[in-house]
Chain A
Amino acid sequence: NAGVTQTPKFRVLKTGQSMTLLCAQDMNHEYMYWYRQDPGMGLRLIHYSVGEGTTAKGEVPDGYNVSRLKKQNFLLGLESAAPSQTSVYFCASSYSRRSGNYEQYFGPGTRLTVT
């Protein structure tokens, strides 16, 4: 099992450029999440999905879009990157509440710099 993988690991963008971050999990998890990590602020939830074809906003959704066309993949898009989006992005996944397992499994992260 690869667990949760993220592509790419690093990226540098110029202001106004767009990009998509890919998250994939092979654990058949129902729920998937995108967080951003900034120094001194911990991790903050951007968007999440509770199943294929569903998405919902988290704490800091502005400037991002997401899609979950397949159960195992969760994409995070930046349509017009801004320097404020310079951050480390983490994807996570988990079983649904029905399972009784409440752990989220995290990917290794994507370090994004917007100049």
Chain B
Amino acid sequence: AQSVTQLGSHVSVSEGALVLLRCNYSSSVPPYLFWYVQYPNQGLQLLLKYTTGATLVKGINGFEAEFKKSETSFHLTKPSAHMSDAAEYFCAVSDNTGFQKLVFGTGTRLLVSP
């Protein structure tokens, strides 16, 4: 079975500071990994994904994540936080043999202060 652990239900940063949101996964098969963002009262929007190939993936809004197989991690980073980045972020894993069902982490709420 697959699972995702997101460390920290809330992360607070100052505007302009580095954003680091942690995600570790468990999967018995090579995983497909995703980061989604959810703004208040909205659905989820894909930030970035890793399926195969380059382990450093770049997404929208200046975010990137690195797949590290040895650490079973897929941490999300952004060099400089903006106020508009305040949202909830979900890491998810999908197996590459099934019907692309996603298993989500419990989410991390990013708070950005001026």
Contact = CB atoms under 8 A, between A and B. Distances in A.
Interface of A: 4, 31, 33, 35, 40-45, 48, 50, 56, 58-59, 90, 92, 94, 97, 102-104, 106-109
Contacts of A102: 32, 34, 49, 51, 94, 100
Contacts of B102: 33, 43, 45, 104
Given A42-B105, A102-B32, A102-B94, A48 B42 contact: no
Interface string B32-48: 10101000011111100
Q: Closest 9 interchain pairs by CB?
A: A106-B43, A42-B104, A106-B44, A42-B106, A43-B104, A108-B43, A50-B99, A103-B46, A42-B107
B9 interface: yes
A58 B101 contact: yes
Interface of B: 4, 9, 32, 34, 36, 41-46, 49, 51, 90, 94, 96, 99-107
Contacts of A45: 101-103
Contacts of A97: 96, 99-100
A106 B45 contact: yes
Contacts of A106: 36, 43-45
A111 B105 CA distance: 21
Given A92-B44, A104-B102, 16 more contacts: A31-B100, A35-B104, A41-B106, A42-B104, A42-B105, A42-B106, A43-B90, A59-B103, A90-B43, A97-B96, A97-B100, A102-B49, A103-B49, A104-B46, A104-B100, A107-B43
30 contacts: A31-B99, A31-B100, A40-B106, A41-B106, A42-B104, A42-B106, A42-B107, A43-B102, A43-B104, A44-B104, A45-B103, A48-B101, A59-B103, A90-B43, A90-B44, A94-B100, A97-B99, A97-B100, A102-B49, A102-B51, A102-B94, A102-B100, A103-B34, A104-B46, A104-B102, A106-B36, A106-B44, A108-B43, A109-B41, A109-B42
B100 to A, nearest CB: 6
Contacts of A41: 106
Contacts of B105: 42
B93 to A, nearest CB: 11
